[in-house]
Each structure stands twice: as C-alpha cells, then as structure tokens.
Chain A
Amino acid sequence: MGGATMDKEPILEVKELKTSFRTERGKVTAVDGVSFDVFKGEILGVVGESGCGKSATAQSILRLYDEKQAIHEGEICFEGKELLSLRPSEMDKVRGNDISMIFQDPLSSLNPVFTIGNQIAEAILIHKNVSKREAYARVLELLRLTGIPAPEKRIHEYPHELSGGMRQRVMIAMALACESKVMIADEPTTALDVTIQAQIMSMIVELNQKLDMGVILITHDLGVVAEVCTRVVVMYLGQIVEEADVKSLFTRPLHPYTQGLMKSIAQLDCDRSQPLHVIKGTVPSLHQIPEGCRFAPRCPFADDLCRSKMPPLEQYGTGQKARCWHAATISEEGEAIRA
C-alpha cells in the first residue's frame, strides 16, 4: 500500500473545476464541477471509464489545452497561487517544475530525434539555472533513482532503442527532474505488460515515499488502485460520484456505479460458471447528458427522484463522499460487498 505520512494541509486544491470545449455539435462540458484535494505524500487515485473526464481534469490542472478551444471555470489552488488565473509565462514555470505529468504512451511522449539524456536534461535546464554539466549529473542521478541500469550508457540512447518499460521510467525521471511537489500520472502503465506494470507501480510507490511527493494517479484499473492508492475519487460523465480512502472504497463502496464496476471485473477467484455482473447500457455521449442523476439510466436502484434531480456530493462518515440519493440505504441492504 502506498502513501507516506499525510499532512493536514492540502498542497493542491481543485475547486468546482469546469472544462468545456466548443465542438461542431455544440458546447461539451468534459469536467463538470469537480473538486478534490491532494495532500502531501499521498497517492490519490482518479478512477473512471472513457468519457468520465479524468484525463481532461489532469490536463486542465496543467492548463495543457488550447485555451481558444477550451474554457475553464473554477479554481485550482497550489501553494497560494490560483493556477487558472496565472499568465501563460507564469504557468510555464509551474509545469514540469512544481507539478509534473507523465502520460500513457511513453513512445509518443518522447521525441524520437533526441537522446533520452538530452530530453531529461532539457526538463532541468528549462527551469533551473544550472550548467550543462550539473544538469547531466542530475540526469544520471535520476536514471539511477528510477532503476535504469547502466545509466552512463543509456544517456546517449534514443527512445526507440529502449523497451516500453524503460521509456516509462525515462518519463518518470523527466517528471522528477525538478523535484515537483505533485506528479500527475495519466494511465502510466496501461500500455505496459503486467509484469512491467508491477515494476513501475512499485517504483512510483517507492518514490512517493522517498520524496514525499503527492501523486495523482489516473487509471481505469481498480486493481492498480487497490495496490497503490491511499485515497480514491471515482468519476462518471464529468463528475465525481464517490470519494473515499482506499479501505472504505473497497470494503464499503457507496455509489452504485462503484459497486457495479467492482462486481463486473473478472477476478482471479471468481466463479467461472456464473455470468459476469453487468452494468446495463453504455456510457452516454457528452452531448446527451441525462436529466437528474447521470448514472440513473443504468442504475439498478434508480427511481423518479434520481431521474429528475441531480444528487449533490454528500459526506458519509469520515472522508467518504457519494453522489447518490440512496447511498445510505443501498449499502445497508448489503449487496455482496467485497471484503
């Protein structure tokens, strides 16, 4: 399990973040009023399926979208600064420096015509006023930190000469280059094999503990979440539907979507003769968001209230929140909950 000692003060606060895009079919709101905090030293998981807005949230925090196409509302507070109101030049200083990001596909995230040493050094030289020699010394240090063998040799290699797992380590090295306080990892292991995934995830946990760095881990894989995260936020169609610490989430998921997700995963010890649990229907398109609770059309517990009014995100016990009119009664009725 991940997570070092947690401070009471959050280092990153996302408040009612809204991100909309102008498309040829109208305005689409990919992130709709999302709020969460990231504490120092924790690993926060952001879980959801396609269209839920988890990647959009991450990209919005770093303002990676072209702001002629994307409109942001809300606030993102980091170390006393409100990120959405920073000037572009000020935001540049935050990216890669205070808050860094690693992406899903390490091959296309690295420039094929530069050596990896060059690219990691660039991450340093953009932000820190050090000499090239000092930068390269740091690069070697980072490569060792991320477990890349023979770093003196690797520094001169090109991305295509490395395997997928190695490339992801290089990406992580780049993200750590400036000792950021927060690292956003957007599906960092989805493109990797399961055995490599295990290595990378344990490295992220180790780094999180060693460097006391906050990590936002975006993934669709609940298994990864269980292994690595301290707290979890579940998203559906642009909203947060549940927030909890890892233990509570897996012992007592409150929201029907979370429950459904957990039950529909084929686990290594499930009964092979039984059909898998299914969440009926499909995720609606962002152009056709349902009235009332967004999950209602697919929810086994939905009633007229659910279909007409959107439930707010409410607190249930310490640190657990759910966006559901019936969260309290559903859990008590006890559907088979994983222990």
Chain B
Amino acid sequence: MTISSENIDLHAVKSALKKEQNKILFRQIMTNGSLVVGFVIIAFLMLVALFGPLLIAHDPNTMDVLNRFAAPSADHWFGTDNLGRDVLVRVIYGARISMGIGVAVAIIASMAGLIVGIYSSYYKWLDHLLMRISDGIMAFPGLLLALALMAALGGRASNVVIAVSIVATPYIARVVRSEALALKEQTFVEATRALGASDTRIIWRHIAPNTLSSLIVQATFIFAEAIIVEAALSFLGAGIPPPAPSWGNILSDGKTYIYKAWWMTFFPGMTITLAIIGLNLFGDGLRDLLDPHSSKATK
C-alpha cells in the first residue's frame, strides 16, 4: 500500500465519519427545547441589531415635537417619547449598542477569564495572587463597581465595555479554574506529561479545550449580565451619554413619564427581558448539550 492510497482512503473515511457525527449532533440540538428557543430569540435580536438600522434609514434622534407622547399606533408601533422620537426606532438602534456591548464584554471577559483561570490552576503562586485580586473584585456588588469605574474612566461606550468586563472576568476565571483543577488530575494529562510535553503544551492543547464547554455556558450568562448592567448604568446616567438610544437610556428617559406614557418604559423593558430570557434559555440548553458529550464513560 503506497502512502497516497492510504491518504485517499482516509479522506473518504473522514467525511463519512464526520457526516455521521454531525447527524447525531444535529439530532441532539434539535431535541433540546431551551437551546432552540433561546437561539431563535438571540438570533432574532442579533439580526435586528445588525440589519435593523440599515432597513429603517431613520435617524433615532429625529424629533417630531408635534407628535410627542403618541400612544402605540400603526404609525408608531412603540409610540413616541417626550421629544417625539419613535420608540421602536430607538429600540432597534439600541439593540446595536446594548447587544454589541454584551457581545464585547462576553468575549473580553472570556478571554481574560480563561487565561487567569488556567494559569491559576496550574501555578500555585499565581493562583494565590490572582484569586485574591478576583476575590477583591467580586467583593463589590457588580453594579457599584461598574459605577465607580465609569466615574473614573468617563462616560463612553468603550469604557462601559471595559468596566463591565473587569466586573465579569473573575466569574469566568473561577469557573475555568475549577474545571482546570479537576482536569489536571485526569490521567490523560499525566500521560501527556509522560510523553514529554511541556507545561505550555499541556495547558493550551489539553486542559484549555476541555474547559471550553463550561466557559461558553458561563459566557452566555455574562452576556445577559452585561446587558442588564449597561442598562442600569445608563438608567443611572453613568453609562453611554444620551441621546444615544441604548436600552438603558430609553428606560431612563421614560422613568419620569411612567404614568403619562407607559410605552416609553414598557417596550425597552420588554426587549431587555426578552434578550435575557433568550440568553438564559440558550445557556441552559447549551449546558445540557455539552455536558453528556464531555468525558463521560460509555460503560
């Protein structure tokens, strides 16, 4: 058997096997209610965030003073606010801001949390140092710490991302660290060391990939948290400066007029709630999906 015929054989085998594995995965995903529903909600909101503004071509800050406090109608599905701005348009543009911040925080906190968590699990001295810092951060109620950071950094979207990422990282780091600690004791890690692998190789090629399932699940919850914190910060006036239509700002505008124009708080509130529900369902479904897949014995 020549080398080339071996490789040809292998490719056919590979695609056949991948097809089979994908079929099983597909079935597992489709039967997972939370996952599907959560995904649909998130996907919908993401699409709105990405393409909504393009389709509407309407400036969210356009004021129509004659039409202030208009109740929801065919012209204005979500009504108008105190300056006559269409609430639906503002919520759609706000999706871009709020979801964008959520994604950014989830990604940054994940990367930072992964590095902190993995290295803490592997080197004891680093563990003491990093975990004490994390404990310090976690000792503050998240929102308060974010507020303090915003006061120090100044009100800008990028600063919101930084502040909330700092608050969120320790949670991911903790999850990753506890997974990594357990993995470190697994025989396959010792086996890889016996093969002569360096620490770095073991950390990044063996331990880190096995923490990803917990990491991703945690990240979806961080995404949800970030949306809430951003909304709270803006609501308190410490987030993204108005008139940017972040969901928190829209809520903030509406708080004075709750009795007069309930739609100014109701719709952004519902949208935030929808996003959180979607993310939580997705995270739960993901956790169920990924759990049986990982290192369980087939006995």
Contacts and interface: CB of A to CB of B under 8 A. Distances in A.
B299 A50 contact: yes
Contacts of B31: 24
Interface of A: 24, 50
A24 B28 contact: yes
B85 to A, nearest CB: 51
A50 B299 CA distance: 8
A5 B222 CA distance: 68
3 contacts: A24-B28, A24-B31, A50-B299
Contacts of A24: 28, 31
Nearest to A25: B24
Contacts, number: 3
Interface in B1-43: 28, 31
Interface of B: 28, 31, 299
Contacts of B299: 50
B237 to A, nearest CB: 51
The SS class assigned to the A binding surface is: loop
B175 to A, nearest CB: 25
B79 to A, nearest CB: 47
B29 to A, nearest CB: 12
A112 B298 CA distance: 28
Contacts of A50: 299
A180 B31 CA distance: 45
A59 to B, nearest CB: 15
A24 B27 CA distance: 10
Nearest to A51: B299
B72 to A, nearest CB: 45
The 3 closest A-B CB pairs, nearest first, are A50-B299, A24-B28, A24-B31
Nearest to B24: A25
A24 B24 CA distance: 11
A306 B299 CA distance: 27
Nearest to A285: B298
A225 B22 CA distance: 46
B295 to A, nearest CB: 18
A24 B25 CA distance: 12
A179 to B, nearest CB: 35
A28 B185 CA distance: 33
B33 to A, nearest CB: 14
A288 to B, nearest CB: 13
A24 B31 CA distance: 10
A250 B299 CA distance: 29
A229 B246 CA distance: 76
B23 to A, nearest CB: 12
Nearest to A50: B299
A142 B170 CA distance: 52
A24 B291 CA distance: 14
Contacts of B28: 24
A24 B28 CA distance: 9
Nearest to B298: A285
A187 to B, nearest CB: 13
A253 B249 CA distance: 82
Nearest to B27: A24
A24 B293 CA distance: 13
Nearest to B299: A50
A24 B299 CA distance: 15
A62 B299 CA distance: 22
A50 B28 CA distance: 27
A186 to B, nearest CB: 15
A285 to B, nearest CB: 8
A282 B239 CA distance: 64
B224 to A, nearest CB: 28
Nearest to B28: A24
